[in-house]
Amino acid sequence: MNASSTLDRALACTNPTGELGAAQNRQLSERALLASASAGQTALPFQLHRYPVSEALSPWLDFHWLIEWDLPAGQEHSQRVLPYPNTHLVFEAGATALHGVARGVFVRGLHGRGRVHGLRFKCGGLRPWLNGSVQALSGRQVLLGEALAWAEPAHVLRAEQAVLGAGSHRQAIKAAEALLLGHLPAMDPWVARVDAAVQQVMQDSSLTRVAELQALLGLTAGSERTLQRRFADSLGVSPKWVIQRARLQDALQALAQEQAPGFADLALHLGFCDQAHFSRCFRQTTGQTPAQYRLALARSMENSHHPDTAQRPQT
């Protein structure tokens, strides 16, 4: 299937995010959104769309994501996200940049009217595009022209204007991909290997040890130092960090359930040595203890069903 037919197939559906599959879209959102957004609200003050990338870019990238919002004057919304271990190319007015893996909670404030268009790289997928290690981007946002030698400021600005000023998602996707299609890097088989392994870690809550990740990658026992170097170079974070991020995202999902497990049982299930260790890691990452987060969820659910707030987006 060529790039054009892939795009046509993605954009032809009535519900554009449905092309990735309803279950996948739900999991992508529920695992990452914190606080009120993951507490079962029926309406958020923004729209999120996801589209697959064209076949030509699929060895390195996962999908496009578009966030659009139009808030009344004086209203603001702050969205907290616990991101996946992926890097992104983000088109944003005056700030188009590569976003390294966010080590903590990412907070985005929304006001007025706007659009942001991102492309998510596969785990390790950005490394072939760079002259140096992805570790230099870890926890940072770097203007595209500073990270990629061919991305001249004037060229990036034209692309940014074309993407954000597009009259349709179809046009925005074509403009975003046009910036990259003329500069495809050499194929690197490590990208497919590491991305598949990380996706398995994200989906299987029983995977809690670095040795298990080594096995998924087909690396021999005792090669942990090699794995550490490869992850630092291609993802910007350690294997242990990836596993812990996945299990903390599992915790967010579990705590949002009506019949959430006890903290001690949840800690044991997710591979933490005890409840105290789980609580400490959760607080260091999210800024709240599991108990505080569960309470915030309960309050958010109450607000979402209150007759005075049910129709109002949470801010």
| 3-class DSSP assignment, residue 17 | helix
> In this structure, which amino acid lies at residue 33?
L
Distance of alpha carbon 98 from alpha carbon 88, whole angstroms: 6
Sheet hosting strand 88-91, strand order edge to edge: 47-52, 61-70, 113-121, 88-91, 97-99, 141-143
Structure tokens at 246: 């996945």
Closest CA to 112 of 75, 167, 67: 75
Q: Which CATH number fits domain 189-302: 1.10.10.60, 3.20.20.370, 3.40.50.720, 3.40.640.10?
A: 1.10.10.60
> Measured on CA atoms in the order 19, 22, 24, 30, is the torsion positive or negative?
positive
Would you state the pLDDT for residue 42?
A: 42
Mapping DSSP onto H, E and C, the string for 48-117 reads: EEEEECCCCCCCCEEEEEEEEEECCCCCEEEEEECCCCCCEEEECCCCCEEECCCCCCEEEEEECEEEEE
Q: What is the pLDDT of residue 31?
A: 64
Distance between CA 120 and CA 79 in Å, rounded? 19
DSSP state at residue 33:
B
Cβ atoms of 156 and 179 within 8 Å: the answer is yes
For each of the chain's 315 residues, which pLDDT tens digit applies? 444 443 444 343 333 344 555 555 555 555 666 654 444 444 567 888 999 999 999 999 999 999 998 888 888 887 888 889 999 999 999 999 999 998 888 887 887 788 999 999 999 999 999 999 999 999 999 999 899 989 999 999 999 999 999 999 999 999 999 999 999 999 999 999 999 999 999 999 999 999 999 999 988 877 888 999 999 999 999 999 999 999 999 999 899 888 888 999 999 999 999 999 999 999 999 889 999 998 888 877 666 555 454 333 332
52 token code pair: 């697959």
Give me the residue spans of the domains in the chain: 3-181, 189-302
Residue 99 phi, psi (nearest 5): -105, 120
DSSP state at residue 270 = T
Round to whole Å and give the CA distance between 221 and 64: 37
How far is it between the farthest Cα atoms of the chain?
59
pLDDT at 145: 87
Q: Which two tokens stand for residue 187?
A: 């194929």
Per-residue model confidence (pLDDT) at position 79: 80
Question: Would the pTM of this model clear 0.85, i.e. be above it?
Answer: no
Question: 308 with 44: CB under 8 angstroms?
Answer: no
CA–CA dist 153, 156 (Å, integer): 5
